[in-house]
Structure 1
């Protein structure tokens, strides 16, 4: 059982609180050296090399050169990976998207302390978050006077966090399997229907395979009309007005469907209605992101599943059904591997992949009569809602485990618990 230290004193830092009587409050600049990594050209990267290249999100590739060969702490300094922390020993190249830390004390202990600080909160609030070495160096931490305690705390946290990480990994693996199950249900239903005994036939398209013989096959252009989203920037977004969904949110938050009744959307002022009516969505309208940073994101879309009028924002293509087909069926069809593979085979790009009106209009759709469309979409809704419920429970469990992990780290590195006599359990 983990105990507390016998005597504590006030650390002088409000969020740290009380610390063991023989611990010391010290600024990080006295415990480490910190500098920015260096950029590396793509010509110096190759899978044939052995030395890892690290940025803010871990290993980016391999090279045959290095700018450090000691045990170093690497901290992400730019963008979404701000505050990410990795500890790596041996030869490595650390890019300018990361900070390189050389510790003067036990590296594992300092790594855990840095994780407890949640360094991303120190980044500036510009469009591209940035973390600087000077901000980190001036943070206070507390350390024990006995250097052996550094190792004991690090060993304790290694053991505990590895156990927690193992459980998290198992739950994340289960989530991925559930997502694969969802995808399989969608793919089967929108390409074969619900009746396994229905006659099938080939439509002369190699990748299409056999589909029910009574289904129709048409190009996108004959089923949907298209228009563009608003020509705005982030500066035009406000907290109240007409909800608007932008391409970034399609990629990161509201893929597949969006509902302003439950989703937190930014808005534009009502004046946009008069001059931009074609960009205003009705229930069942689709919005495709017109650019993606990777090929896998090509074809990402959402559809409005609400009666609340909502604008499509910047970098989007709107698609509206021109008949009374079931929009929910086509939402699942667009989310199928069969359809997304079409998009991915048509887009071109290197760092940015663009989806054009022409690309969408040239894709091939296949579908049953309206009544059967509705039966298929209701069947998929029923199946995937059960899957989403399971995923939601797992995600909540993972969140709690991560919070528990963070609390254990914080308690150990601030001396709230005494692990000096702790030993791992043996089998």
Structure 2
């Protein structure tokens, strides 16, 4: 299907650096002729509205019972959103996971966002597809203003958007809905395999760091209710006798910034993100050195605790700890990320904030008081060596699938951009497409919130 796409025969210059040339029969229309701003505050009527959120998957209904993300303290200042409205995030554009969404719901959203309605509703899907394509590749930088990389509304309204003829616009929307549904299905299938493989991997690791590999080893009561029985020759110790918190701060901010990621540990921020860090200055950030542990206090229960192999800076809100006990650092890391210890970390965390907007934080004294069971040092090293061998195949398969997912996403981004800007002609192909239902709900983990994002890529500059 996609292989049969051809370029248009002739083009004209759009005059827009983020678009380039467009087919010469397309119009270029200022946005003020396509959309208009709506700002209707909900005020005391907020209880009559569903709370909406702009996510990577568009505008969704927010489940406030989960307490995920941050909530406005003045919910009455939220603004009304109707089905068919466009929601834009015009501030911190390079850092924002999603800048635009077409709402399929009635509800309300925080007043920080800009709500626009289409002059002609039939053009809404193409308009969203176009600006999603520009956003995915962060091409709108010529419109940015100020330190927060904001797009002023008047500047956006004065910018032009390519407009194909109505039938052609409908063909573009039809083709991209079809192609995106199939690409999303392929991505989701691979994500589900990765999820299953990671569950298998976690089960192997959990067994290794809580029982070892000897299935016949005799057990004894640990003396700690939540630990249960442990191998007879293992010893129980409090974490405070294994790790000691340190607090070394950068005076220059010149050290490299590190980022903590769920499946990668501590990595160089610059190697994993093209955007700049959110913090204006890294002075006062905590210094971490190889062999030291870093704990995201508010995500410890989700396993965000890793030993560093790098020297660099992490958020001042993270805990940095020196190993002081007779323990293998890599073994400790896997133990702390095992499901039983993660559950204990959650149980020992204390809430901050009020109501559903509160966060759980694992304070150092409560972490230090937690008991863990450890084999002798030489057995810890032997377990880690065995794990490396047993997990090699799983890790290789997971890495390959993750790379395939990344390539599919890159291809989808390029395809959408090429179609909505007239680089590829889809009219003939779109006319032959079968009727296609919209894609199923996104896989778990694909709808990270823009406000208070808690994705697995938790970074030091957050």
Same fold (TM over 0.5): yes
Measured after TM superposition, the shift of residue 71 of structure 1 is 1.2
Residue of structure 2 in register with 1:170 after alignment: 189
Residue of structure 1 in register with 2:115 after alignment: 100
* Secondary structure of the corresponding residue to residue 29 of structure 1: helix
Residue of structure 2 in register with 1:75 after alignment: 88
* Secondary structure of the corresponding residue to residue 331 of structure 1: helix
Q: Render the CA deviation track for 1:314-340: whole Å, top value 9, x for unaligned.
A: 233333333442111111111111212
Structure with higher Rg: it is 1
> Is the Cα contact below 8 Å between 2:98 and 2:135 reproduced in 1?
yes
- Label 1:410 to 1:295 Cα distance change in 2 as closer, same or farther (>3 A): same
Q: Distance in 1 between matches of 2:289 and 2:308?
A: 7
Q: Distance in 1 between matches of 2:42 and 2:395?
A: 42
> Is the Cα contact below 8 Å between 1:280 and 1:312 reproduced in 2?
yes
> Is the Cα contact below 8 Å between 2:350 and 2:360 reproduced in 1?
yes
Q: Distance in 1 between matches of 2:411 and 2:132?
A: 13
- Label 1:82 to 1:425 Cα distance change in 2 as closer, same or farther (>3 A): closer
Residue of 50, 74, 87 corresponding to 2:102: 87
- Label 1:423 to 1:128 Cα distance change in 2 as closer, same or farther (>3 A): same
> Is the Cα contact below 8 Å between 1:56 and 1:97 reproduced in 2?
no
Residue of structure 1 in register with 2:440 after alignment: none
What CA RMSD, in Å, does the superposition of the two structures yield over aligned residues? 3.7
Measured after TM superposition, the shift of residue 184 of structure 1 is 1.6
Q: Render the CA deviation track for 1:264-311: whole Å, top value 9, x for unaligned.
A: 999xxxxx9xxx9xx86554222223x42x6755x62221236xx656
Q: Distance in 2 between matches of 1:115 and 1:97?
A: 19
Residue of structure 2 in register with 1:193 after alignment: 212
> Is the Cα contact below 8 Å between 1:76 and 1:99 reproduced in 2?
yes
1:127-166 equivalent positions in 2, closer than 5 A: 130-144=150-164, 146-166=165-185
- Label 1:22 to 1:320 Cα distance change in 2 as closer, same or farther (>3 A): closer
Q: Render the CA deviation track for 1:98-131: whole Å, top value 9, x for unaligned.
A: 3222112411111111112227554858786645
Measured after TM superposition, the shift of residue 93 of structure 1 is 1.6
Residue of structure 2 in register with 1:420 after alignment: 427
1:182-331 equivalent positions in 2, closer than 5 A: 182-230=201-249, 236-238=252-254, 242-243=255-256, 245=258, 249-250=259-260, 252=261, 256-257=265-266, 283-289=290-296, 291-292=297-298, 296-297=301-302, 300-305=304-309, 314-331=316-333
- Label 1:281 to 1:142 Cα distance change in 2 as closer, same or farther (>3 A): closer
* Secondary structure of the corresponding residue to residue 431 of structure 2: coil
Measured after TM superposition, the shift of residue 85 of structure 1 is 2.7
> Is the Cα contact below 8 Å between 1:25 and 1:141 reproduced in 2?
yes
> Is the Cα contact below 8 Å between 2:31 and 2:156 reproduced in 1?
yes
> Is the Cα contact below 8 Å between 2:291 and 2:308 reproduced in 1?
yes
Residue of structure 2 in register with 1:2 after alignment: 5
Q: Render the CA deviation track for 1:133-178: whole Å, top value 9, x for unaligned.
A: 334323322112x322221211111111111111111122222222
Residue of structure 1 in register with 2:349 after alignment: 347
Q: Distance in 1 between matches of 2:335 and 2:309?
A: 16
Q: Render the CA deviation track for 1:45-91: whole Å, top value 9, x for unaligned.
A: 6xxx8x54223223324799982434122223455546433222352
Q: Distance in 2 between matches of 1:404 and 1:261?
A: 23
Q: Distance in 2 between matches of 1:8 and 1:355?
A: 59
> Is the Cα contact below 8 Å between 1:244 and 1:311 reproduced in 2?
yes
- Label 1:81 to 1:365 Cα distance change in 2 as closer, same or farther (>3 A): same
- Label 1:426 to 1:22 Cα distance change in 2 as closer, same or farther (>3 A): closer
Measured after TM superposition, the shift of residue 426 of structure 1 is 4.7
Q: Distance in 2 between matches of 1:311 and 1:7?
A: 52
Residue of structure 2 in register with 1:269 after alignment: none
- Structure number with greater CO (CA < 8 Å, separation at least 6) is 2
- Unaligned 5+ runs, structure 2: 65-74, 278-282, 353-357, 436-462
- Label 1:84 to 1:393 Cα distance change in 2 as closer, same or farther (>3 A): farther
- Label 1:81 to 1:254 Cα distance change in 2 as closer, same or farther (>3 A): same
Residue of structure 1 in register with 2:26 after alignment: 23
> Is the Cα contact below 8 Å between 1:75 and 1:82 reproduced in 2?
no
> Is the Cα contact below 8 Å between 2:27 and 2:163 reproduced in 1?
yes
Q: Distance in 1 between matches of 2:419 and 2:382?
A: 56
Measured after TM superposition, the shift of residue 193 of structure 1 is 0.6
Residue of structure 1 in register with 2:376 after alignment: 369
